[in-house]
Structure 1
Amino acid sequence: MRKRAKKRTENYKKHVGQIPGTLVYTGKKSDKKLHIESFDYNKEHVEETVLLNIADAIPFKDTDSVTWININGLQYTKEIESIGNQYGLHPLVLEDIVNTAQRPKIDEYDDYLFVVLKMLYYDKDENIVIEQVSFVLGKNYVISFQESEGDVFDIIRERLRLGNGRIRGLKSDYLLYALIDAVVDNYFSIIETLGNKIEDLETELFAGTAREGVNIEIQQLKREILKVRRAIFPLREIISRIEKGEHPLIYKRTITYYRDVYDHLIQVSENIDIYREMIWSLMDMYMTTISNKMNEVMKVLTIMSTIFIPLTFLAGLYGMNFKHIPELNYHNGYFVLLGVMLVMFIALLFYFKRKKWL
């Protein structure tokens, strides 16, 4: 925990004392290579290209076709600053692009929109990964910025290649919608996985077969849900502002599609709230299970003590070193005492059984 807190503190310190607009990469993927791809298309054709350097992306600014430029590698701040200068992006926009701790938001400028959101997915170890994705929407282009290769946009690439749907027949605002929609659709898989984990733990706790350390799993799930909630909830405000259609880059015909994304976000948000309540209930259920197990142990010990108290009393009574105890002179006194003890033992067991304490 201290090591994580130290890492967060170091990331915040990178911005202390810096001039506003200074590009400081705060992520952890500094070993990744710069990868730039572009899709330049219209209704009739599409040209997919892997760009060798950032300068190759400059000519797409003034084309009549629509262009999607996808840049992977936020640690290459000089290259990002270069394309920002060529496309007229504000220095604060460039600063937010490389600041991976940025909260999801939307900034409106005269000739472009800047959108930041979080892309969620599970890695091979079933750990949730939160990666920042930034979009710049221009008149005929969308520029996306990611930390590294690997995303949820393969379905968009395939639609562009094959010309499926209406994506190649509409403007860049529809392209932005399609990219955001791909991110939001992937949220459903995240929510489904979280739901399955919660249901599995709930079944274990109800069946009384919970493994050792299940409380740690519950705490980890709770942290995952809080992370997902923090990443998803601000996106509703972003889509709400877009669907108002006040910016000239957002055409009326695409407003309906953004409303559909908003509906999906509402559904995801409701599921998150439900699972958040369920995870709190799981912790209460776990504590109740532990308490019940302790009560069962205490009940058994109490019954055993209750049974042996009278037997101990008789054994102690006739174990006293007095000479004139009348029963000591009986020829079969020992066997009579054992018989009395046995009868008392059976009678107490029968009584506890009848009371359903056993």
Structure 2
Amino acid sequence: MTTLSDPPPASCQAAPASGLKLRALFRDGQGEMHLDWPIARLDEAIQDVRGTLWLDIEDNPGEPSPAAEHLLLNVFKFHPLAVEDALRESHIPKIDDWDDYLYLVFHSSSIDPISDDLCLQELDVFLGPNYLVTYHEAPIAFLSEGREAIEHDPRDRMKHGADHLLFRFLDRSVDQSLAAIEVLDERVDQVQDAVMESLGPQNLHQIFRIKRSAIQLQRTFSPQRDVLNRLARDPYRVVKEGHRIYFRDVYDHVVRIHDISESLRDLIAGTLDTYLSVMSNRSNEIMKTLTMVTVMFMPMSFIVGFFGMNFFGEALELEARLPKWFLFFASLAVMSLSPVGMLAYAKRRHWF
């Protein structure tokens, strides 16, 4: 069974390392939007308490960049344990309160269209009073979509603050996971139809792959539900009280996905039971047919064996009393009629 700490399947592996990518978007206290804020001036953006800064860090997979570590430790002054968690370890979804900022681990999920494996992308988030730092090791679609939306509508997308920007990203992540659930549901329907049409090891393999993905998805969303519940209810300093209702809405979506994943596991278990039942019924039919064929030819085998003994003809002197051709055709008739008689008897008793 796969765990969250296990490496993803080959089809879900991150893209090859392409170097550190830093993108900073900054809306200053006067409402002016800067779509390409210089990394060297991050301190200035952090000091603007009325502004909103979003720094997105895309690092090398499995090879944390010293430059990224320097930014997190020395520019934003995050705790070394939180930075170590973000750079070097993979965690289940969680939230840590460091008073002046929050550290979150969140996962977005998708289904590989070829192997039906669940692909998890970890997103590490640092949320401060006026900044949002996202760290990940591979491109994440909803972050790219959020950046494009800000570029197309720079005035309104970041005016509500960093916590509202985080809500938008988490909401898009949950929507992406809901799409993964729908894909798994379609796969279950397809494999159910395939099981009823034909049996084969490929169907059994697909059932277990879908089951593994569903279990992994449920294990991921169980802690993510707790993360969003805390964001919606706990009085964190960096989350405005009026914005908790937005996280509550995302929490409701996660609860729905968690419930759907549980029902999906039941469907997969039912599909596996159906497969085994159909396989058992088909084996029974085959065994019944083979048994009936054996029974049909049993009288023939008895006659051939009985009359094939040497002493029988000598004891009764059949060869002297009857012509050989008569004995041959009589034996042939008895041997031919006995399977037919056995088959008719089995049909009458509804054995076959």
User: TM-score, normalized by length of structure 1?
Assistant: 0.84
Residue in structure 2 matched with residue 80 of structure 1 by the alignment: 68
Task: Verify the 8 A CA contact 2:33 2:155 in the aligned structure 1.
Answer: no
Identify if the C-alpha distance between structure 1 residues 257 and 231 changes in structure 2 by more than 3 Å, giving closer, same or farther.
Answer: same
**Structure 1 residue 30 displacement after superposition:** 7.2
Aligned AA (1:107): D
Task: Verify the 8 A CA contact 2:52 2:159 in the aligned structure 1.
Answer: no
* Distance (Å, rounded) in 2 between the aligned partners of 1:170 and 1:299: 73
Matches within 5 A, 1:54-69: 55-63=40-48, 64-69=50-55
Deviation digits for residues 240-295 of structure 1 (CA, Å, limit 9, x no counterpart):
11111411221222122111111110111011111222222333333333322322
Identify if the C-alpha distance between structure 1 residues 199 and 77 changes in structure 2 by more than 3 Å, giving closer, same or farther.
Answer: same
Identify if the C-alpha distance between structure 1 residues 56 and 106 changes in structure 2 by more than 3 Å, giving closer, same or farther.
Answer: same
Residue in structure 1 matched with residue 337 of structure 2 by the alignment: 343
Task: Verify the 8 A CA contact 2:195 2:203 in the aligned structure 1.
Answer: no
Task: Verify the 8 A CA contact 1:140 1:171 in the aligned structure 2.
Answer: yes
* Distance (Å, rounded) in 2 between the aligned partners of 1:58 and 1:272: 44
Task: Verify the 8 A CA contact 2:58 2:136 in the aligned structure 1.
Answer: yes
* Distance (Å, rounded) in 2 between the aligned partners of 1:123 and 1:195: 14
Task: Verify the 8 A CA contact 1:128 1:224 in the aligned structure 2.
Answer: yes
Aligned AA (2:330): V
* Distance (Å, rounded) in 1 between the aligned partners of 2:234 and 2:206: 44
Tell me which of 125, 130, 145 is aligned to 1:140: 130
Matches within 5 A, 1:1-358: 31-41=17-27, 45-49=32-36, 55-63=40-48, 64-73=50-59, 75-84=63-72, 85-123=74-112, 125-126=114-115, 127-163=117-153, 167-207=157-197, 209-322=198-311, 323-325=314-316, 327-328=318-319, 329-331=321-323, 332-358=326-352
Residue in structure 1 matched with residue 10 of structure 2 by the alignment: none
Aligned AA (2:174): V
Aligned AA (1:348): M
Aligned AA (2:77): G
* Distance (Å, rounded) in 2 between the aligned partners of 1:165 and 1:313: 96
Deviation digits for residues 309-342 of structure 1 (CA, Å, limit 9, x no counterpart):
1111122221111202365543323222322333
* Distance (Å, rounded) in 2 between the aligned partners of 1:205 and 1:230: 27
**Structure 1 residue 107 displacement after superposition:** 0.6
User: TM-score, normalized by length of structure 2?
Assistant: 0.85
Q: How many positions carry a matched residue from both structures?
A: 335
Task: Verify the 8 A CA contact 1:239 1:258 in the aligned structure 2.
Answer: yes
The secondary structure found in structure 2 opposite 1:136 is: strand
Aligned AA (2:338): M
Aligned AA (2:80): P
**Where has structure 1 moved over 6 Å in runs of 4 or more?**
27-30
Task: Verify the 8 A CA contact 1:218 1:279 in the aligned structure 2.
Answer: yes
Aligned AA (1:109): W
Unaligned residue ranges in structure 1 (runs of 5+): 10-26
Which of structures 1 and 2 has the larger relative contact order (alpha carbons within 8 angstroms, sep 6+)?
A: 2
Task: Verify the 8 A CA contact 2:111 2:183 in the aligned structure 1.
Answer: no
Task: Verify the 8 A CA contact 2:163 2:243 in the aligned structure 1.
Answer: yes
Unaligned residue ranges in structure 2 (runs of 5+): 8-12
Aligned AA (2:70): S
* Distance (Å, rounded) in 2 between the aligned partners of 1:330 and 1:165: 114
Aligned AA (1:308): F
**Structure 1 residue 133 displacement after superposition:** 0.5
* Distance (Å, rounded) in 2 between the aligned partners of 1:295 and 1:165: 70
Task: Verify the 8 A CA contact 2:110 2:118 in the aligned structure 1.
Answer: yes
